[in-house]
Structure 1
Amino acid sequence: MDNGPDMMTEANSSANEDQLRDQMIRRLIELGALRSRQVVAAFRKVPRHLATPDEDMATVYSVERAVITKTDADGVQLSSVSAPRIQAMQIEQADIHPGMQVLEIGSGGVNAAYLAEIVGKDGLVVTADIDSEVTERASVFLSQAGYDQVHIVTVDGENGVPEHAPYDRILVTVQAADIPPAWLDQLKDGGRLVVPLRVRGMTRTVAFVRHGDRLLSDGFELCGFVPMQGIGENRVRLVLLHEVSGEEVGLRLDGHPEPDVEALSAALHTPPVKSWSGVALAGDESNEHLDLWLTTALDNLPLLAGQQAARARGIVASISPHGIPTLVEADSFAYRTVRPTDDPDRFELGAIGHGPHAQEVADRLVEQIRVWDRVHRSHRAHIEVYPAGTPDDVLPAGRVIDRPHTRITITWP
């Protein structure tokens, strides 16, 4: 019997894979990302490392690490294998059961394998991507991992895949700014669409349920995804307020009014003014629901983005990978910030303003933080999607975001 070096290496690799996968699953359960028996079983079965063979296995099984598989000439990420936490979160949102027909828009292979495990031999999984390199890579992985039953198609996801419709579930794994009519048409009434929907600059993966010609949200989570390509491409635009290389600062615009860049650039270099709310967050408490309230209540709230070097230089006081909600009014602006309190686990919310009217703008932002705390802190927003052209008097009262295909509404109890 041959127990040479090659067999020993293979055995060690397999043991390491099993250990890393078990650690990943335990952590996902601790985080609440994995909740149901069938999803846990799928994550235990799929050898996700086969999809990115050149990547370190510990990275592949790290719950928060996405593996980027393609970028464009400008460094924009075009394709990735999403982090396990994001994949688990979306699949749990989709509430998939054996025998269902599922369409995945945005392919990578790993997610489709999880879906195939859950729907079983009596179900159907179709995975689609606009990029033939992506679908070819997904095809190789799915074959190696033993999921040849998955249908892989190279098409523009804007149009869905009508030949296998209608679907019980549609799962979108690219950032979308709109809901194309094909997705609604190909989804069964009562079916669920899970989509990373960008609303006023910030992306949340939203679970929608179809009710006739509209979609009603059934939960959402903050996330990040590579942007959609093709017909439905609609990217955030960045305008720079500070252009020194390595410490750039700018505003991400997503349907916001065109800013006075010259005036706001000058404002950024004026002394900051601070306003504090008296409202505190716990150290482990997310600000995502506050930020959605601010986006609902305030008209011109783009996101402030910047390099870490800009914070180190004191040009801005806060940096976030998602961007920081920033109230812009003509030649002045103010962005959300925090400071420590006497309780080491709590941080007070406030605003930092710049420009000739910095104090007024910062105070207005802080007032809406207080409104959220008084009225909406225990609530969760509701997001609905209606066809473009739906009259205003049919829409629920709240913030309306108009897109080419739809009218998206955000309402609060």
Structure 2
Amino acid sequence: MTDPPAESQRTARPDGQPREDGVKDVDRAAELRADLVEKLRAEGKIVSPAVEAAFRAVARERFLPSDVPLETAYAYDDAVVTKRDEHGVALSSVSAAYIQARMLEQAELRPRATVLEIGSGGLNAALIAEIVGPQGRVVSVDIDPEVTDRAAKLLDEAGYGSRVRVLVADAEHGVPNEGRIDAIIVTVGAWDIPPALLAQLADEGTLVLPLIMNGVTRTIGFRREGDHLVSTSVEVAGFVPMQGAGRHPERVFVLTDPNGKQVKLRFDSGVPADMSPLDAVLATERTEAWSGVTIPHRTSFADLYLWFAWHLPGFCLLTVDDGTELANERGTWFPFGAVRGGGFAYLAIRPAMEGAGVEFGARAYGHDRELAAMALVKQIRAWDRDGRHAEPVFGYWPAGTDVTRIPADAAVMDKTHGVVTISWPAP
């Protein structure tokens, strides 16, 4: 493990210019870094001494834009965007501390390992370098040369330049001149797993990636089990989507209300063949249906919309314009819905449990609104019965493997290079 950069080095901003009150910044950063590590340990995101030591050694602020406050650099769950396109869409970012820590734990890194990081930024590669040690090998790739140039510069300034090889490459095609890799950590949203990456993964290696499944992302740790992969860990997180050959564009359908405001339905897959029955749907009467399924306040229900993504035909994500009826009712619904014929429904909540929680239900528009609402309610009840109290297990079966061995109770989702499966253990 390398020594932390010297105090005089850590007073520099990521752009190489001295910070004002550098000594004060160094002291404050050290204090915030220690606090962050304790928070990550308390929340179970850091569980190993190696990941803890890496987080104590690496100065996060050195890899962030110079105008980012130290409090943001050392926040538990703040991601920082480092590049946007001309429309303001994030193209590259530094992940929140909690998901960086969790993914490093998922990868089960060890000293002397060779690790491939897909999606460069510098900070995560420095953390990996600390864990694998001076005799380990870290390769960080990104499709954007502007991103790799920045990452290489920051790594060099922080003392990791000789420890991390930064390359411009489209990871869909693998990484040239690299042999078998002990661990692959993907830090961008991936719709599929490229065969070239699997070919480079060592037989006993680990793959950690944010896998997009019908619009819902889970960061999954995988290991090989014969000819396929089986999950060893799962984390909820969102990521900037993959660019290049592995990019999977979503389809967006626009619904316009009587005032000209828009609700957009975003489909990852399973797009209904005919969306014309939803023309002028927002001008129709709205209905509600309630499930009887309740949940206390401040309790995660992230697996509910994962369940929808796998079991609800016509599943989609919603974005809404200010001024729409939905926008005016924010706080009473969530942006997950489904289309059924001439109706579309979305997940809604209302107070329950004598004010200590909420009940899940659906609101719906269109001449098939009752059908759409009840489809959603049916799956809320199914999740409550079969998926609410168990962590799902994922599998990935590359094309050419024996899919007849997929467990009978598993749901299957087709991808370009194989299929993903999910199973919820019996309650």
| TM-score scaled by length of structure 1 | 0.91
Instruction: Name the residue aligned to 1:12.
Output: 24
The alpha-carbon distance between structure 1 residues 343 and 383, as it changes in their structure 2 partners (threshold 3 A), is: same
Q: Give unpaired runs (5+ residues) of structure 1.
A: 1-5
2:115 is equivalent to residue 115 of structure 1 = no
Residue correspondence of structure 1 range 164-179 to structure 2 within 5 A: 164-179=178-193
TM-fit CA distance, 1:266: 2.1
In the other structure, the counterpart of 1:370 is 381
**Alignment-mate amino acid for residue 147 of structure 2:** V
Going from structure 1 to structure 2, the CA distance change for 1:333 and 1:191 (only over 3 Å counts) comes to same
Which residue matches 2:8?
none
User: In 2 relative to 1, CA 312–331 (structure 1 residues): closer, same or farther, beyond 3 Å?
Assistant: closer
Question: Across the two proteins, how many residue pairs are aligned to each other?
Answer: 405
CA deviation after TM superposition for structure 1 residue 205, in Å: 0.7
Where do 1:317-336 residues align within 5 Å? 318=332, 320=334, 323-324=335-336, 326-336=337-347
Write the deviation string for residues 9-41 of structure 1: whole angstroms up to 9, x where unpaired: 221111111122223223222332222221111
Q: Counterpart of 1:242?
A: 256
Partner residue of 2:417? 405
Determine which of 273, 279, 302 is the counterpart of 2:293: 279
Aligned counterparts of 1:296 and 1:96: Cα–Cα separation in 2: 31
1:37 equivalenced with 2:49 (yes/no): yes
d(CA) in 2 for partners of 1:248, 1:297: 27
Q: Which amino acid aligns with 1:95?
A: E
2:21 is paired with a residue of what secondary structure? helix
1:88 is the counterpart of 2:101: yes
For residue 379 of structure 1, what is the aligned residue in structure 2? 390
CA deviation profile, 1:188-247 (whole Å, cap 9, x unmatched): 113110001100011111111122431111121221111111111112222221389996
**Higher alpha-carbon deviation: 122-131 or 356-365:** 356-365
User: 2:67 maps to what in 1?
Assistant: 54
Distance 1:181 1:314 in 2: 46
Amino acid at match of 1:85: Y
Q: 1:133 aligns with which of 134, 138, 146?
A: 146
Alpha carbons of 1:129 and 1:358: their partners in 2 closer, same or farther (altered >3 Å)?
same
Candidates 117, 129, 144, aligned match of 1:104: 117
Unpaired segments of 5 or more residues in structure 2? 1-17
Tell whether 2:104 aligns with 1:65: no
Residues 1:28 and 1:234: Cα distance change in structure 2 (over 3 Å): same
SS in 2 for 1:99: coil
Residues in 2 aligned to 1:315 and 1:391: alpha-carbon distance in whole angstroms: 48
Do the aligned partners of residues 347 and 145 (structure 1) sit closer, same or farther apart at CA in structure 2, a change above 3 Å counting?
same
Q: 1:357 to 1:315 in 2, by over 3 A?
A: farther
Q: Tell me which moved more, 173-182 or 235-244.
A: 235-244
- Relative to structure 1, the CA distance from residue 313 to residue 179 in structure 2 (aligned partners, 3 Å threshold; closer, same or farther) is closer
Distance in 2 (CA, whole Å) between partners of 1:374 and 1:13 is 52
Map 1:152-163 → 2, pairs under 5 A: 152-163=166-177
Q: Distance in 2 between matches of 1:400 and 1:215?
A: 14
Going from structure 1 to structure 2, the CA distance change for 1:313 and 1:70 (only over 3 Å counts) comes to: closer
CA contact (8 A) 2:256 2:280 kept: no
Structure 2 counterpart SS, 1:302: strand
* Counterpart in the other structure of 2:362: 351
Single out whichever of 362-371 and 132-141 deviates more from structure 2: 362-371
1:74 corresponds in structure 2 to 87
Equivalent position of 1:3 in the other structure: none
Matching residue's letter, 1:380: E
User: 1:62: how far off?
Assistant: 1.5
How far the C-alpha of 1:8 sits from its partner, in A, is: 8.8
Q: Which residue among 224, 233, 241 is the counterpart of 1:227?
A: 241
| Cα separation, 2, equivalents of 1:136 and 1:95 | 28
Tell me, yes or no, if the aligned pair for 1:227 and 1:233 is still in contact at 8 Å: yes
Describe the SS at the equivalent of 2:355: coil
Q: 1:204 to 1:265 in 2, by over 3 A?
A: farther
Equivalent in the alignment of 1:143: 156
Question: Against the structure 1 CA distance between its residues 298 and 247, is the aligned structure 2 distance closer, same or farther, given a 3 Å change threshold?
Answer: same
Detail structure 1 runs of 4+ shifted over 6 Å in the superposition: 243-246
CA distance in 2: counterparts of 1:155 and 1:194, whole angstroms: 19
CA-atom RMSD in angstroms? 2.4
Residue in structure 1 matching 2:195, options 181, 184, 200: 181
| Distance in 1 between residues matched to 2:362 and 2:330, nearest whole Å | 12
Structure 2 Cα separation of the partners of residues 108 and 356 of structure 1: 49
Counterpart secondary structure, 1:59: helix
* Superimposed CA distance per residue, residues 339-397 of structure 1 (whole angstroms, 9 cap, x where no aligned partner): 11144332111111211121232122212211221233222222111123556534333
The corresponding residue for 1:210 is 224
Match of 2:316 in 1: 302
CA contact (8 A) 2:148 2:167 kept: yes
What are the Cα deviations for residues 122-176 of structure 1, in whole angstroms up to 9, with x where unaligned? 2111111111111111111111111121111111111222423211110000111
Q: Is the 8 A contact 1:381 1:411 kept in 2?
A: yes
Q: Could you tell me how far apart the structure 2 residues matched to 1:373 and 1:196 are?
A: 25
Distance change in 2, residues 1:243/1:191 (3 Å): farther
Classify 1:199/1:246 alpha carbon distance in 2 versus 1 (closer, same or farther; 3 Å). Answer: farther
Deviation at 1:307, TM superposition (A): 4.2
Distance 2:235 2:178 in 1: 29
